[in-house]
A and B are shown apart, each in its own frame.
Chain A
């Protein structure tokens, strides 16, 4: 496994990490990373925050210097799509016309924003945020006084709202459910974020459905039409209604796909020579009985590291990393350790009014996760606590 070629499809956090970790583990063969974008691998979280605010530039996003990647003989095949996998021939066909042979293939194809399935959603004032291109173009629309309508009060939508307010825009958020980040956060933290947004002048409409986007194609502005008849005029509409995994390549290769490329506990598809990691992978839940697909930097980097260790023959039990997430909105740093969805009880430690508190979430007495606002020490301790719950034996051994 040290000399034969490995191809990574996807130049995001997961793909880059897999390549870096393969070299760290002593892999010496040819190593290509196929990147759909023209940018070298970059850090996405700032796209909705510092980069969108204009306080960070493209150079600040680069994950590794080109000279360093050259030195490690990690070849970036930029501005190129993998169009097909020939499993019999063990090669990947590229949009450039060439192909790359592989001994092992790592799919790190990421995810793509969902579009709104309503009339008018192709209007040029309607945007999504995923790439540095998206962010660069959106930034020019966020002028003082611009009317911004954000559809979806999830992580991306709220981060964009906070940044847009900081730039002096008028911001309205339209959310179908009854609170912000309803699917991923406990009620106390969700309410805290809502209060922050309201204090900062964001208008949030709950329980509303968007039925259409009405605009003259060549005019800049558009109106967002809601089911209750409300019309919201907007200079720009940002759609943040989640993502779908990029699975087309896996599907056409005949691999099992079910809202993500289905992998086993070693992040391996039904074809033992092909792995899938990061946003695009659906893997067994190490803490439960079902499966998970996660969209986060942590998941991308930890799975990249795992697959490299596994391929290089490290004695690897299944993937068990504890998920964690963060978001920055105004002065609030929110950190989530574990997955708190489905909790039946939560305990708040600290006073939300102070802007510093943690919420511990349980299901049937078992700790699912901890959400911390401006309490980084609680977060890091919670990650260790959750890791110990997952691997009591390993934690006991490490403590000796």
Chain B
């Protein structure tokens, strides 16, 4: 298990135990963390598990894949240098106590 904290811009956050071998997206969705959608179930296809990983934590997570980067170009809240897709970050013990920040929304407002 790794404890991962999902922080929202309104100052609220959820900390959940995510099993090793799962992903940052699944940890959130399984436990109903508000602010992560994961529409495609983790196929890296929808861009609705957008998270920000602080630069200081960048070397703890797996590197950005080119197709992931392309999806990040289309997220509802525009990408930043720290943007990642939660579904593309596998969880291992080394991510224990990681905090990710969530964008204001995952789906474009209609």
Contact = CB atoms under 8 A, between A and B. Distances in A.
A72 B34 CA distance: 13
A168 to B, nearest CB: 24
Contacts of B109: 398
Contact of B110 (A333, A380, A394): A394
Interface string A54-68: 000001101111011
Interface residues of B, number: 24
B47 A380 contact: yes
Contacts of A35: none
Interface string A340-378: 000000000000000000000000000000000011110
Contacts of A20: 32
Contacts of B21: 60
Given A65-B31, A384-B108, A387-B110, A335 B45 contact: yes
Interface in A375-398: 375-377, 379-381, 384, 387, 391, 394-395, 398
B74 interface: yes
A340 B46 CA distance: 19
A376 B30 contact: no
B31 A379 contact: no
Nearest to B23: A60
A65 B32 CA distance: 8
A113 B110 CA distance: 35
A68 B14 CA distance: 13
Contact of A65 (B30, B45, B70, B108): B30
Interface residues of A, number: 34
Interface in B31-72: 31-32, 39-41, 43-47, 67, 70-71
A199 B31 CA distance: 41
Contact of B46 (A59, A328, A380, A387): A380
A298 interface: yes
A256 interface: no
B73 interface: yes
A46 interface: yes
Contacts of B26: 60
A326 B40 contact: yes
A376 B65 CA distance: 13
Nearest to B74: A380
Q: Which of A63, A374, A377, A391 has the most CB of B within 10 A?
A: A377
B92 interface: no
Binding site of B, secondary structure by majority: helix, strand, loop or mixed? Answer: loop
A375 B44 CA distance: 12
A291 B55 CA distance: 50
Contacts of A374: 67
Contact of B67 (A43, A62, A333, A380): A333
Interface string A298-311: 10010000000000
B22 interface: yes
A27 to B, nearest CB: 15
A326 B43 contact: yes
B32 A46 contact: no
A59 B21 CA distance: 10
A376 B67 contact: yes
Given A62-B30, A64-B30, A65-B31, A377 B70 contact: yes
Contacts of A301: 39
A377 B74 contact: yes
A45 interface: yes
Given A72-B32, A375-B70, A43 B41 contact: yes
A302 to B, nearest CB: 9
A223 B81 CA distance: 56
22 contacts: A45-B43, A46-B41, A60-B22, A62-B30, A64-B30, A64-B31, A65-B31, A67-B31, A68-B30, A71-B32, A72-B32, A297-B39, A301-B39, A326-B43, A326-B45, A333-B67, A376-B44, A376-B74, A377-B73, A380-B71, A381-B74, A398-B109
Interface of A: 20, 43, 45-46, 59-60, 62-65, 67-68, 71-72, 297-298, 301, 326, 328, 333, 335, 374-377, 379-381, 384, 387, 391, 394-395, 398
